[in-house]
Structure 1
């Protein structure tokens, strides 16, 4: 806590600067004074009280925030400069002023301190509710036909296992500013996702379909109805004039597929389908007009 004498000295410095500025032009903030401003002040002080202060002294007690008082003889000179007999006279006349200023400062600082404490308390005790929904990357539709397995990886805690709901979503509340989770399903490729509360992106996560696993299930179970429905859905997703490129490794070339050729490839459980990876796709009016893939 600042002592009463140090508060008085701070107030004395304010009066010294005001007194100087009545006769000279300089910045109101002494911290912005140039070397020439300091020289002019030294001369003005000498003219009034017949004593100079060194530049080092000025930097120590005026340019910087002093944590101790100057010698009493210097305090007497500065007090005389602003119109008082000496330091004792200045203290007697201004002790009430500094006390009032101190009380006023406390009055204004108290709400700020309380507000800071409340904000800190809110930040340390708040919780976030994450709502994450899963979207099929190709179809652009919610994955709600099956329940997805979600493993939430908490720092210094055991993992939490939950499933997506009927809308293909899950909700999780935590104090953490981000969550990390692994999502799995029989017909989608396993992925590890990190979501921050700052860039939640509407909570939507796109998952890549494991077309090989899905087609293998249709073929092995002879599920012709669902296989045809899946194929018809793909027909709607791709534009008739879609440009579909297979990129070969090491940039040795490309192969162009028609819409129907590619859909046939997607709906037949071959080894190449198992190793297929979509590199990029472009949509226009909700339909895929360009797609690039690679067989790894």
Structure 2
């Protein structure tokens, strides 16, 4: 690719990633995406433009530096995904930005020293935030939580808690705003200032229905008739239920009836069911969307 094609395609990739991250939790660095992240992207792309890309295509053009542009039909689909009529419309919207970038001329000798001073001061003035999480019973949450750090006029940054249930972040700002989410705890937006960072323990509210579902998927239930009734109660009749397969082998759609049958037949696979994500209708007190995988 020539430099112009490289610039335009990199802009398109950035726009596609930002679009996906508006609705899904994943690393802002696409090179860190795993098979599940790529699978969710394929599903999201299909829901928007009724087309899919293969995992091999994704690795070739997104996770690696491509030597040439994708086919024009794929460029048109990706441009449509981010809100443009086609690839030409996307290029036209960003061509002026590229020209302005080329026209900028900086007097490097005159500004190098001030910039260096600002950089050093900024690096030395970073504030460090550390947070750990507890549940309603003040028990430490060691299961992995998704952290989305919100930034002014910039795309969010995505992190996960570590093996001891905490996360650390450094910034020159005195305040941090982030969203905590998990399949088993209610999503919460946290705002903290550096002068309050001594209160680093944050309590999250358990999503009781999701925890109940997790409990019942363990298979350690003696009264299977009662078990089935409780599962049917917490899942909406029109729930959208997706089973994801390892190594990005595809996604299978389950009806409520099929999913309940899976959970109420005592087999060895029950304790290997892992909930990936879910949406909850708090007015109806039922799960309306569910993603799961069998390890």
TM-score, reference length from structure 1: 0.35
Greater relative contact order, per chain length (Cα 8 Å cut-off, separation 6+): 2
Work out which of the two has the higher radius of gyration on C-alpha atoms and give 1 or 2: 1
TM-score, reference length from structure 2: 0.35
